[in-house]
Structure 1
Amino acid sequence: MTGKERTMTNGGFEKGRNTLKSAVRPNNTASHVRDEPMFGGPGIRIPLAEDRRIFTPIDRSSYAWEKAYRRRTAAERVNSRLDCTFGLEKHTIRGEQKMRVRCGLALCVMLAMAVGRIKANQAEKMRSLVA
């Protein structure tokens, strides 16, 4: 490219319009400075309905996105442990109530193991199933 490279920066989320605001800035401009005027006009609005997987209300480069994604990753780790380690992926259980009991017992075992590791001064191993 030439010396006029530009990048899109996040301008926020408009709840009333359900759109993302984006602004065009030169690459040499700090994108975290909010007081600077938007370059290239007023910017653009992208409706979330365009593609919900790509355009989200929370900017992907923000701290809030990282925090939400860490929560999701932690939940997926628990789901994986329930499926693989505790055998809930391949089960022969019939009925929602029985499955809820089995999931509850598995979660209780995971918590009990974590508490046991903490009481044994092994807090760094509290997520481990083996010694």
Structure 2
Amino acid sequence: MKYGCPAVHYGYECAGKASCPLASCIRIPLSTDRRVFTPIARSSYRWKREYAKRTALERIHSRLDRSFSLELHTIRGQEKLSVHLTLVFSVMSALALGRVRENQPNQMRSLVRPAA
């Protein structure tokens, strides 16, 4: 992996550019701990976008676990679980579609309030 100077990346001129060890880039061996030096720099805009996707997926997984009883399921076999997940996602999509058709798009993720 290699990291470049953030000032150069964002188009800024740095006063200490001549003495900066990151003036061009710094290489980090892959044997170094990946939790410390991630492939995407944590201070970048790309990291923020990717992390926002992660939190959205965690919300979906939480809803699947709690609202649709997947946390304590008794389903055995990949085929049966696949059918169950297909039905759950179909219900979630139908609920969202019903909210949009009732002109309540801000409530499309709600499982509590009635649509009418």
Give TM class, smaller chain. 0.7 to 0.9
> What amino acid is the match of 1:79?
H
Following superposition, the deviation at residue 63 of structure 1 comes to: 1.2
Between the aligned partners of 2:96 and 2:103, the Cα distance in structure 1 is: 11
The aligned counterpart of 1:8 is none
State the match for 1:59 in structure 2: 41
Q: Where does residue 42 of structure 1 map in the other structure? A: 21
Residue 113 of structure 1, aligned match among 92, 95, 106: 95
Q: TM-score, normalised by structure 1?
A: 0.71
SS of the aligned residue for 2:31 comes to: helix
CA offsets per residue over residues 14-42 of structure 1, 9 Å max, x none?
A: xxxxx23255x9xxx8x944454635343
Question: 1:34, 1:71 → 2: CA distance?
Answer: 29
> Which structure 1 residue ranges, 5 or more long, are not aligned?
1-18
Kindly provide the CA deviation profile for residues 61-100 of structure 1, in whole angstroms up to 9, marking residues without a partner as x.
1111111111111111111111111001101111110001
* Larger proportion of strand: 1
- What one-letter code is carried by the residue in structure 2 that aligns with 1:52? R
> What count of residue pairs does the alignment treat as equivalent?
109
Shift of 1:48: 4.1
Q: TM-score, structure 2 length as denominator? A: 0.79
The structure with more helix, counted as a fraction of residues: 2
Question: How far apart, in 2, do the equivalents of 1:114 and 1:108 lie?
Answer: 10
Find the counterpart in structure 2 of residue 10 from structure 1: none
Cα-Cα RMSD? 2.5
